[in-house]
Amino acid sequence: MKLFTITLLFLITFIGTAQEQNNIIKNQLLKIVDDKMVMGVAAAYSIDGKIIEQAVAGYADKDAGKKFTIDTKVRMGSIAKTMTALAVMQLVEQGKLDLDAPVQTYIPDYPKHEKTQITTRHLLSHTSGISGYKDGRESNTTTEYPTLYDAMSLFKDRDLLFEPGTQFSYTTYGYTVLGAIMESVTGQTFETYMQENIFAKAGMTHTGVEKFGESLENESRLYHRNNGKGKAKPAKENNLSNRLPAGGFYTTLTDMLKFGDAVINHALVKEETLKEMRQHHSLEKENNAYGFGWFLYNPKPYEGAIIGHPGAQTGCTSFLFIVPEKKGISVILANTARAQSSVDPIANDLLRLSLSGTNNK
C-alpha cells in the first residue's frame, strides 16, 4: 500500500472558509468519476459532530445503472485496523490482555522464535517482524478460512523479517493474529465482539464483517484500475477471511463519520487509552509514524495532531482523518482499487477543511 504523507508545510497552507469551499468536494468527485479514475465515490467532513459537507458521485453498479449514495456499502480496506486496535485496547483496559505478554500466552501453539517473542504491542505497532502478502495471488485469494486461527496457518511458520521490536514493517497479517488473540481472550468470534463493542457503541448500523460470496443490501460492486493506470473496470471478488481484522469490513459514509465521533468522544476507549494509542510506537523518528492502529500525521503528539489511516484493496481506495483536539473528521470512500493518485488529493482537501475549525456555511 502506498502510504499517505503530510508535511508541516501542508498543515500551514491557506484554508478557505466553508463558504468559499462550497461544492469544491462535489466537483472534485464528479471529475474523477468523469475521468473514469473511480466508478463511485463518497466523501464528507464534519466538525464537532456536525456534517459540514458531504458529496457522492458515480455508480455503485454501472451496468445496472445503480448510483453511488451515502448509504452505499463499500469496503473500507485497512481503516479496519484502527477499529481492531481500539477493540484490543478495550481488552487491555479491562485487564484481560497484557500488551507485553508473548503471543503464546493467548495462543499456546503459536510458533516461538529464537530470541524475542512477539507481543500484542509489537502486533499493534507493526514491529513484530511478520511479513505481508507473499504475492498478488495471496492477496487476491478466494480461499475461505473458517476461523482466524485457521487463517494464521497461511503465514505463522514463515521466517520473521527481523527480531520483534527492532524495526517497523507494515503487515496485514499481524492484525490477523490480533483478531485470533481477541477470540481466545473473549471466547467470542471476532465478528461478534466487533459488532457488540465497536460498531454498536459507535452507532454504526451499516458496518460489518464481509463474508465471501454473500450479497448485501445497497452494496457496491468491486472495481479496479490495472496497475493504477487506465479506467475503472469491474474486479473479481477476493476472499478477505485471511485478513478480517486488518481489512475485512464494509461500511458507509455516514457510519464512518459516526466512528470518528465515537473516537473523539471517547465512546470506545478512555481518553488516556487513546493518548497511548497516539504515541509513536513504530520506532520511526520521522513524521508520519505509527501508533497503535493509527498513522500519526504530524510531529506533536497532541496540539492539533492528526491521526488516521488509508485503505487500499480490491474494490477500495479510502482515507480517514481525525483531528481530536479540533473535533474534525474527514473521510473518503471509493469503490475502485489503485486509485490513490485521484483519491489522495481530495483527502488532502477534506483534511484542510476539517482543520479549519469552521462549522457553519
Mean of the per-residue pLDDT values of the chain: 90
Residues 208-212: what's their mean pLDDT?
A: 97
- In which band, very low, low, confident or very high, does the pLDDT at 356 lie, cut at 50, 70 and 90? confident
The confidence score (pLDDT) of residue 17 equals 43
Q: Is residue 98 part of a domain?
A: yes
Burial 21-54 (b: 16+ CB within 10 A, else e): beebbeebbbebbeebbbbbbbbbbbbeeeebbb
Q: How far, in Å, CA of 205 to CA of 203, rounded?
A: 6
Is position 36 within any domain?
yes
* Cβ contacts of 327 within 8 Å, gap of 6 or more: 47, 48, 49, 264
129 burial (CB, 10 Å; 0-12 / 13-18 / 19+) is buried
Would you say 310 and 4 are in contact if contact means Cβ atoms under 8 Å apart? yes
The CA radius of gyration of the chain, in Å to the nearest whole number, is 19
More confident residue, 288 or 306: 306
What pLDDT does residue 6 have? 43
Instruction: Give the Cα separation of 306 and 288 in Å (integer).
Output: 9
> 214 in a domain, yes or no?
yes
The answer to whether residue 308 is domain-embedded is no
Mean pLDDT for the stretch of residues 18-32: 78
Q: 287 falls in which pLDDT band (50, 70, 90)?
A: low
What pLDDT score does 283 carry?
Answer: 77
Whether residue 303 lies inside any domain: the answer is: no
Q: Count Cα neighbours of 8 within 13 Å in the Cβ-side half-sphere.
A: 4
Is-contact 358 52, C-beta < 8 A? yes
In a domain, 306, yes or no: no
Please report the beta strands in 191-344, taking only residues with DSSP state E, as ranges in sequence order. 208-209, 223-224, 233-234, 249-251, 289-290, 295-296, 307-313, 316-323, 328-334, 336-337
Backbone angles phi, psi at 235, to 5 degrees: -120, 155
pLDDT for 7 beyond 60:
no
Q: Residue 218 sits in a domain of what CATH number?
A: 3.40.710.10
Query: Span 182-210, mean pLDDT?
Result: 98
Q: Are strands 336-337 and 223-224 parallel, antiparallel or unpaired?
A: parallel
pLDDT band at 227 (very low <50, low <70, confident <90, very high): confident
Residue 168 within any structural domain of the chain: yes
Q: Which three cell numbers stand for residue 203?
A: 452507532
Phi, psi of 24 (to 5 degrees): -60, -45
Q: How confident is the model at residue 299 (pLDDT cuts 50, 70, 90)?
A: low
Q: Which of 151-165, 288-302, 325-339 has the lowest mean pLDDT?
A: 288-302
Domain count of the fold of the chain: 1
- Separation CA 259–CA 236 (nearest Å): 29
**Residue-range definition of the domain harbouring residue 185:** 8-298+313-323+332-356
Cβ-contact 52, 353 below 8 angstroms: yes
218 falls within a domain: yes
Look up cell 466508478; give the residue. 39
Binning pLDDT at 50, 70 and 90, where does residue 354 land?
confident
| Whole-angstrom distance, CA of residue 348 vs CA of residue 342 | 11
- Read off the pTM: 0.92
At residue 91's C-alpha, the angle toward residues 85 and 97, to 5°, is: 100
- The C-alpha cell that represents 294 in the structure block: 493509527
Quote the CA–CA distance of 341 and 346 in Å, as a whole number: 10
